[in-house]
Structure 1
Amino acid sequence: MRFSPDETRRYARHLVLKGMGGRGQQALKGASALIVGAGGLGSPAIAYLAAAGIGRLGIVDNDIVALSNLQRQIVHGTASIGAPKAQSGIAFANSLNPHVQTSAHQLRLDADNVDALLLGYDLVLDGSDNFLTRAMVAGAAERAHKPLVCGAVSGFDGQLSVIAPHLMRPDGRPFPTFADLYPVNSDDADLPSCEQNGVLGPLTGVIGALMAMEAIKLITGIGKPLLGRLMLYDGRDGRFTELSY
């Protein structure tokens, strides 16, 4: 899989990066990722994965762009108000990097379509805003043996982890499941709502960019992904905390 002259110039800072280089960039070009939700978290993930040169990028979202989204959902502009978020996100990715193959899935995920949709991708990034969707995506990713990058934000606080129970720890035990991190009886009433409580716009950029970082690490084999670890970010105090689970 060769790079065109344009790709070589485009990814020049990756190609000279020790630990990444041509091998890592080739891995990115040969990989595919599905982003669930083209909102506050999905937007920076879309931007950075497209810019990094992932081979194929899918976006699933059944919502449309609203004016109140633009404070944090950076892949959409004022001209996109009223447009489907999946289509708007894909248009941004295509304008940023024409070498990335893209697919817009303008639909609501449910038990009838989630498994088939995830099977077409190497890994999943979940930036959805409700627990039912998160649990459903996590279950499908676990059944399909796909790594899942989970991010969440509210107010000034964010969190991030990687779920991949099909992968093994050095001692032979599987990494934790989604249910090990979040109680199976949780529902949206137990979770803080951004619509009710608000969210600081740049916070979604911090967590969404870190989601893209974890995806790139999983694809290229660079570093240690957040497997069995929950990263917490306190935006007000500028502090990261890590918990093992």
Structure 2
Amino acid sequence: MIGLLGFLVLFGAGRWLGWAARWVWLAAWGWLLVLLLAHAPYMPPELGAFVGGDLRGWFLLGALAAVIMVYRAGLSRLRRRVAPPAAGAAARPGTFSAVERERYARHILLREIGGPGQKSLKSARVLVVGAGGLGSPALLYLAASGVGVIGVIDDDVVEGSNLQRQIIHADARIGMPKVFSAEIAMKALNPFIEVRPYRRRLDESVVADLVADYDLVLDGTDNFDTRYLVNRVCAAAGKPLIAAAITQWEGQISVYDPARGGPCFECVFPQRPAPGMVPTCAEAGVAAPLPGVIGAMMAMEAIKLLTGAGEGLRGRLVIHDALYAETRVIGVKPRAGCAACGGGG
């Protein structure tokens, strides 16, 4: 039959010539239309006899083909909805894939964050100085929250004594640079973010260029040289700084943002403590959950600042005493003549 032969020729030629499936099917539907017209009542009977078949048979064939195509299209759509994309697969810029929407659903439900706030997190770039006790929970929660680009700078390697409190690292990664250990944990938690590890000490040769590339800085270091350096560069660049510190059972945290009317770190702490007055965790010890408490607060302040939710700690200093379960909040103000920021923005 000429009619069936025409379909065989179309599908065979399409396969041999590499036509897209949609063009092959379009040609097949066109040929079916020709066959139906050939059997129309007003057409010469000889034409219908030439192509073969009858009007009813070709119509039923077309109806069956249409049902099959609708079924296949519905099945393909269902598979796309239930099958997760490859790890790290990202949606178009400014949008979320179905997997991302499910991942961040609890954020999107919050009216203070919602879809616009989650988009702000996705487009944000946050630098975390230090991948130790405070950096560990902060980095994990920033990653889990969907912050698009997270930089982490640290020149240290993972040691066994770190694992009592630095929860981003693991026993199997002892000896590995902390920034790469942190990257592994963050990408395992959320493959939809970008992690930028910098294995080096933060010093004056790189700090200005590095800070300039980010929207917000979190400082969880344990030495005053770095704290004052980061504060001065952030103040000069107009970048908010979330800084925290811990020792033994006590921690403190604030948002230092002189560009928006708050004090800088040096406004509140204009003089470094005398040597030995503020011992490090290695010297004085620290309760294991304490950096988790304060580091999580750092991440929380970052999320609030990036999304505009609630009231942050700009102009307020939180002091948490874990031993006696007491938390105090004291007001802090810009200091006139501050060498770092001049006394506020």
TM-score range, shorter chain: over 0.9
Q: Paired residue for 1:221?
A: 308
Q: Distance in 2 between matches of 1:55 and 1:39?
A: 21
Greater percentage in helix: 2
State the structure with bigger RCO (CA 8 A, min sep 6), 1 or 2.
Answer: 1
**Selected match of 1:212 from 290, 293, 299:** 299
- Which of residues 171, 193, 196 is equivalent to 2:280? 193
Identity across matched positions, percent: 47
CA-to-partner distance for each residue in 1:136-171, whole Å, 9 max, x for gaps?
Answer: 01111111111000011000100000000001xxxx
The residue type paired with residue 212 of structure 1 is A
Say if 1:132 and 1:188, in contact at 8 Å, map to a contact too.
no
For residues 1-80 of structure 1, the aligned pairs below 5 Å read: 1-80=94-173
Aligned to 1:171: none
> Which one of 155, 161, 169 corresponds to residue 254 of structure 2?
161
Once the two structures are TM-superposed, the CA of residue 185 in structure 1 deviates from its matched residue by 4.1
- Whole-Å separation in 2 of the counterparts to 1:221 and 1:146: 15
Measured after TM superposition, the shift of residue 180 of structure 1 is 1.3
Compute the displacement of 1:187 (Å). 5.7
Shift of 1:112: 1.1
Quick one: structure 1 residues 94 and 207, their matched pair in 2 at CA, closer, same or farther if it must change by over 3 Å? same
CA–CA distance in structure 2, aligned partners of residues 180 and 217 of structure 1 = 23
Q: Is the 8 A contact 2:224 2:272 kept in 1?
A: no
5+ residue gaps in structure 2?
Answer: 1-93, 333-345
Secondary structure at 2:330 match in 1: strand
Task: Write out per-residue CA displacement over residues 96-126 of structure 1, whole angstroms, 9 at most, x where no aligned residue.
Answer: 0011111000011111111111111100000
Checking the alignment, whether the CA contact within 8 Å between 2:135 and 2:220 is kept in structure 1 is yes
The structure richer in strand per residue is 1
Where structure 1 has 5 or more consecutive residues not aligned to the other structure, the ranges are 168-173
Contact 1:131–1:187 at 8 Å: present in 2 too? no
Equivalent AA in structure 2 for residue 45 of structure 1:
A
Moved over 6 A (4+): none
1:239 to 300, 310, 326: 326
Output one character per residue of 1:181-239: Cα deviation in whole Å (capped at 9) or x when no partner: 11234465432221111000100000000000000111000011101110000101111
The aligned counterpart of 1:119 is 212
Matches within 5 A, 1:98-109: 98-109=191-202
- Distance in 2, matches of 1:191 and 1:117, equals 28
User: For this pair of structures, how many residues does the alignment match?
Assistant: 239
Q: Considering only CA atoms, is the larger Rg found in Structure 1 or Structure 2?
A: 2
**C-alpha RMSD over aligned residues:** 1.0
Deviations 1:42-64 (A, max 9, x none): 00000000000001000000000
- Offset from partner CA, 1:16-39 (integer Å, 9 cap, x none): 112111011011001010000000
The answer to whether the Cα contact below 8 Å between 1:32 and 1:55 also exists between their aligned partners in 2 is yes
> If the length of structure 1 is used for normalisation, what is the TM-score?
0.95
